[in-house]
Amino acid sequence: MDYAKESLRLHGEWKGKIEVTARVPVETKDDLSLAYTPGVAQPCMEIQKDLEKSYELTRRWNLCAVITDGSAVLGLGDIGPEAGMPVMEGKCALFKAFGDVDAIPLCVRSKEVEDIVNTVRLLAGSFGGINLEDISAPRCFEIERRLKECCDIPIFHDDQHGTAIISSAALLNGAKIAGKELDKMRVVVNGAGAAAIACARLFVELGIRRENMVLCDSHGAVTVYREDINPMKREFATTRRITTLAEALHDADVFLGVSKADTLTPEMLRTMSGNPIVMALANPDPEIAYDTAMLSRPDIIFATGRSDYPNQVNNVLGFPYIFRGALDVRATKINEEMKLAAAHALAELTRQPVPAMVLRAYGVEKLEFGRTYLIPKPLDPRLLCTVAPAVARAAVESGVAKKPITDWEAYAESLRKRYQE
């Protein structure tokens, strides 16, 4: 199928991928008086006395804003806020379909940090969480940092943390398959933007030693000897006397690519250690083609960002369920504990037997934990009941939940009912 051509045709038919629907009847005089004036004045006054009531008397408890300035959309780059709208609508559709989270796309006509921060800050009272999307680096770091400082709801830049969580799950399982210990593994991250930095940071939280990690950008290895690197890159600058990606990859155990197509060659791949873990996540074309990689290293543990190859590292495995768990406990933030909990939950789910409905969805007879099944499939319904509770529990245990869950079995059952509905 020509996905580009067919998607354009369908977008013309759909006239948008999301819509607002009423949850209450408005068919009689009493209906109008209860949903709107005069009855609506009473919940307004209750919220005025206690702003937390906005979660109980409105849809705020389940509402997330998807915010972009259109400056880093997919692999298309800076295409502007209006052109980014189809992606944001798609994101909102996935929020609802997989996590039952109501999400609204908001595309901001400014690339100024101050404008974006003020826009989100002023709107935050209407939402339970904020998903930042497709905002270019390094501005995205400052925007997220400042919003976390001034907002009391979760602020989550999915391009950073979603990618980090899913690739961390793949790393955990890849290490298990390769029979290697995280604190002894040598990691090379190719790409030095928002996703790369976030992945590197979470890898360290998992147990990768910072001194065993090398970051590479378009100019080569990021080292302490370079003077052209920003503070985020300097955080991972190596003291090794190397200059190229090829040098960095010699004897490396892991390659994480969040860069561009065809940057990893078969020659480089062959210099890596045994059972190399390679996550070539550039989209639509990975850093090395699937067939080329498999021919170059039969012992490779390989993942891409594409759905037409095994082991798709895709953020849809994370954000719907991370926000579901965060919203359900009214978390004030999504912290490191919650991110790690999501990564471990995803990794552990992969090791469980795969239900028949998932096999049917992908037209396969068998899926078993191993080199070709490293992380769960996006259409696995168990994700909701696995990742969301792990995130919610981590929020409660780390002290950022304003509405802690006490009956976890009842919560799990409520999630199962959500999916069945």
Distance from C-alpha of 39 to C-alpha of 382, rounded to nearest angstrom: 41
User: Is the Cβ–Cβ distance between 188 and 248 less than 8 Å?
Assistant: yes
Q: What is the mean pLDDT of residues 303-327?
A: 95
Q: Which positions are annotated as active-site residues?
A: 36, 91
Kindly report the average pLDDT of the chain as a whole number: 95
User: Is the Cβ–Cβ distance between 92 and 133 less than 8 Å?
Assistant: no
Beta bridge partner(s), residue 216: 190, 221
Calculate the dihedral angle through the C-alpha atoms of 106, 84, 131, 77, rounding to the nearest 10 degrees. Answer: -140
Task: Give SS3 for 65.
Answer: strand
User: Is the Cβ–Cβ distance between 269 and 201 less than 8 Å?
Assistant: no
User: Is the Cβ–Cβ distance between 189 and 258 less than 8 Å?
Assistant: yes
Query: What is the structure's pLDDT at 232?
Result: 85
Query: What is the structure's pLDDT at 342?
Result: 98
User: Is the Cβ–Cβ distance between 327 and 400 less than 8 Å?
Assistant: no
Percent of the chain with pLDDT over 90: 90
Distance from C-alpha of 257 to C-alpha of 241, rounded to nearest angstrom: 21
User: Is the Cβ–Cβ distance between 171 and 203 less than 8 Å?
Assistant: yes
> Among residues 146, 111, 110, which one has the least CA distance to residue 130?
146
Query: What is the structure's pLDDT at 37?
Result: 93
> Among residues 156, 105, 206, which one has the least CA distance to residue 400?
156
Topology annotation, domain 161-329+355-421 = Rossmann fold (3.40.50)
Distance from C-alpha of 204 to C-alpha of 223, rounded to nearest angstrom: 18
pLDDT at 305 over 70: yes
Q: What is the pLDDT of residues 91-142, one digit of tens each?
A: 999 999 999 999 999 999 999 999 999 999 999 999 999 999 999 988 999 9
pLDDT tier at 421, thresholds 50, 70, 90: low
Calculate the dihedral angle through the C-alpha atoms of 364, 376, 216, 231, rounding to the nearest 10 degrees. Answer: 160
Domain ranges of the chain: 3-153, 161-329+355-421
Strands 254-257 and 187-190: parallel
Q: What is the pLDDT of residues 371-416, one digit of tens each?
A: 999 999 999 999 999 999 999 999 999 999 999 999 999 999 999 8
CATH of 3-153, one of 2.40.100.10, 3.40.50.1370, 3.20.20.70, 3.40.50.10380: 3.40.50.10380
Query: What is the structure's pLDDT at 293?
Result: 96
User: Is the Cβ–Cβ distance between 325 and 391 less than 8 Å?
Assistant: yes
pLDDT at 418 over 90: no
Percent of the chain with pLDDT over 70: 99
Rounded to the nearest angstrom, the gap between the alpha carbon of residue 147 and the centroid of all alpha carbons in its chain is 18
pLDDT at 420 over 80: no
Nearest-5° angle of CA 70, CA 76, CA 78?
A: 35
Tokens of residue 215, six digits: 């970051």
Query: What is the structure's pLDDT at 292?
Result: 96
- Long-range contacts, stretch 47-54, CB < 8 angstroms, 24+ apart: 51/125, 52/402, 54/125
First to last CA, the chain: 31
> Given this chain, do its domains 3-153 and 161-329+355-421 carry the same CATH topology?
yes
Distance from C-alpha of 96 to C-alpha of 131, rounded to nearest angstrom: 14
Query: What is the structure's pLDDT at 137?
Result: 85
Task: Tell me which of 64 and 283 has the higher pLDDT.
Answer: 64
- Which residues contact residue 120 at a Cβ distance below 8 angstroms, ignoring those fewer than 6 apart? 65, 67, 130, 147, 151, 155
User: Is the Cβ–Cβ distance between 113 and 142 less than 8 Å?
Assistant: yes
Burial of residue 366 (CB within 10 Å: 0-12, 13-18, 19+) is: exposed
Per the rule left: phi > 0, alpha: psi between -120 and 50, beta: everything else, 15 is left
